[in-house]
Structure 1
Amino acid sequence: MPEGHTLHRLAGALDAAFAGAAPHVTSPQGRFAEGAALLDGTLLERSWAHGKLLFVDFEEGRTLYVHLGLIGKWFVLPVAEAHRETGPPVVGEVRLRIEDGSHVADLRGPMACQVVDEQEVDRLVARQGPDPLQPDDGTAADAAYRRISRSGKSLAELLMDQTVVAGVGNIYRCEVLWRHRLHPLRPGRSLKRASWQLVWDDLVRLMPWGVRTGTIITLDDVLEDTVAALGRGETPVVPREFAVYQRTGMPCLRCGATVRHKVVAGRNLFWCGNCQRRT
């Protein structure tokens, strides 16, 4: 399932392509025909995300709500000159297509694709925890910690719970716990407030780089190289390298001990058996 930075990045792509326009909205597959008819030819005001939920606001208080789930894909692409008049051919089971002659966005396999009103948007967002990629009035970390500090569930479970923190997925949970030497099976109620603040601040720092580059960055040296490349006006090539994620049996990058593996909350969890002993 895509992590939160992917949805924020997709919202930016949709805005760049369609915001301020009244695109053609269809459902080539047919399963979203009624919803597409409500949005077709109406002004697309903005696209935005909260955690793993994506919203596209149209005029008259209508919002397209999309949850990609495990297999959903949504690509925003420029339209080739040869297809400017007729639109590019439909490939596969396209639930929703947005197009305006210069760009096309095809949505396939989402878990949810609905037209909702403002009240339903508020309800959907209210069910989520705070999003590290959203502007913060200073209360977000406290809101998440209230739920963490009352729970006997492990930190690994809580970080994957979208009602606790929205947008964090498996890679970020493994890596951020490693960065702060926290044992992933430690109960949430044993975590000190100051320790949680460090984790939250790290997510706030790291996740925007996922939005900017399209790749999750959790290693400081990779981040430094990325910042340096951007400073030189270059497009950074970000390697897919992590400290513990998918490194079962390999040496920890910090202490050299063996990286361990366990399935937690339905996903593969990775951690260092030595330097993540803060239980």
Structure 2
Amino acid sequence: MPEGHSVHRIARQFARNIVGKPVAASSPQGRFAEGAALLDGRVVESVQAVGKQMFLETEGDLWLRVHLGLYGAWDFSGEILVDPTIASANGRMGQTNQRGTDLEAPILDDAGENSLASIGAPRKTRVHVRMSEATKGLADEGVEWPPPVVGQVRLRLMTDATCADLRGPTACVLQTPDEMLATVAKLGPDPLVGDVDEGEERFVAAVRRRAVPIALLLMDQAVVSGIGNVYRAELLFRAQLNPHTPGRDVPEATVRALWRDWVRLLAIGVETGQMMTMDDLSPEQYRAAMAHRDDRHWVYHRTGLPCRVCGTAIVLEEIGARKLYWCPRCQA
């Protein structure tokens, strides 16, 4: 499932390429035909990401709420203006070589986490993306426009130069302003939304009043927004915290440290497009970690392999119908 960093990256691409423009909306798959008809021709006025959900505001007080879930993804094609606050894995803007530069090739990730062409669930088929600040037309690139529909596209949003295709979301619904605010109110704090200190206080209060294991609380989007399976496992390991500890038994200082670590890791994820959770890497180790998911995590996806700190075999168990990776010694 795409975690919070991916959704914030998607929102920033919408802000650069879609917001402020009228969109032609359609539902090639047909499952969102009525909603697309209501969106068609409206100007997108703003975009907001909160945890794993994104909200597009359109003129006429109509909001589009999208939750990608396990399999959802946005595919962008056409003229893509890259958000300069988003760097690629090697520190450059964007995920592919920018036209007219001689910068070294970017680090590519076969796990599908660092592709603006399809942000969300990994996909083998990519729609053309021109990662360029140029404003040339598409004809000289030999690009078909509008781009052909590939697969089951729930919603297509098109400006005169950019196309965004949504596939496989858990939720794709229209909301009134009050409904949108009610949805957001049910979500836990997101470090990139609102005051980060207020978010910390909300998080601490939510965790320390519950007898639920901390491993489940971190995945509860009403407690904290954006954390998924990968970040959950890595945050707990970095805190040297037993995942089965009831929230109310976790020392307050540890809960605050979890929040502050999440603030830091989320910022790194948004910037690089990768869930990088290891520190103090050499340049060579950093490049390897950016290129290969298994080289950038402490415990996630390392079942049976030796802990990078103590050598104990990493354990895999199921909790809350999701996989949990942890070290039974470091996190005893």
Per the TM superposition, whether the score is higher than 0.5 is yes
Structure 1 stretch 96-105 or stretch 163-172: which is displaced more? Answer: 96-105
Query: CA deviation digits over 1:11-36, x for unaligned, max 9?
Result: 11112111111121111112212211
Give the 5 Å matches for 1:119-268. 119-136=178-195, 138-222=197-281, 225=283, 237-240=290-293, 241-268=296-323
For 2:323, the aligned partner's letter is N
SS in 1 for 2:156: strand
Partner of 1:88: 147
Identity percentage of aligned residues: 43
Structure 1 spans left out of the alignment, 5+ residues: 230-235
Shift of 1:221: 2.8
Structure 2 spans left out of the alignment, 5+ residues: 80-127, 129-137
Contact 1:85/1:101, CA 8 A, preserved across alignment: no
Partner of 1:105: 164
CA distance in 2, matches of 1:162, 1:77: 31
Shift of 1:84: 7.2
Query: CA deviation digits over 1:212-257, x for unaligned, max 9?
Result: 11110100135x749x99xxxxxx9554221000111111111222
Partner of 1:74: 74
For 1:116, the aligned partner's letter is Q
SS in 2 for 1:139: helix
For 1:73, the aligned partner's letter is A
CA distance in 2, matches of 1:267, 1:47: 30
Quote the RMSD (CA, aligned, Å). 2.1
CA distance in 2, matches of 1:166, 1:130: 6
For 1:29, the aligned partner's letter is Q
Shift of 1:112: 1.1
Partner of 1:232: none
Seen in structure 2, the aligned counterparts of structure 1 residues 237 and 252 have a Cα distance that, compared at 3 Å, is closer
Shift of 1:153: 1.2
Seen in structure 2, the aligned counterparts of structure 1 residues 137 and 73 have a Cα distance that, compared at 3 Å, is closer
Shift of 1:198: 0.6
> Which has the larger helix fraction?
1
Asked if 1:2 corresponds to 2:61, the answer is no
Structure 1 stretch 240-249 or stretch 142-151: which is displaced more? Answer: 142-151
Tell me the number of residue pairs that the alignment of Structure 1 and Structure 2 aligns.
269
What is the TM-score with the length of structure 1 in the denominator? 0.90
Partner of 1:54: 54
Query: CA deviation digits over 1:166-187, x for unaligned, max 9?
Result: 1000110100111110011111
Which structure is higher in RCO with an 8 Å CA cutoff and minimum separation 6? 2
CA distance in 2, matches of 1:248, 1:92: 34
CA distance in 1, matches of 2:205, 2:28: 45
CA distance in 2, matches of 1:171, 1:10: 19
Contact 1:160/1:265, CA 8 A, preserved across alignment: no
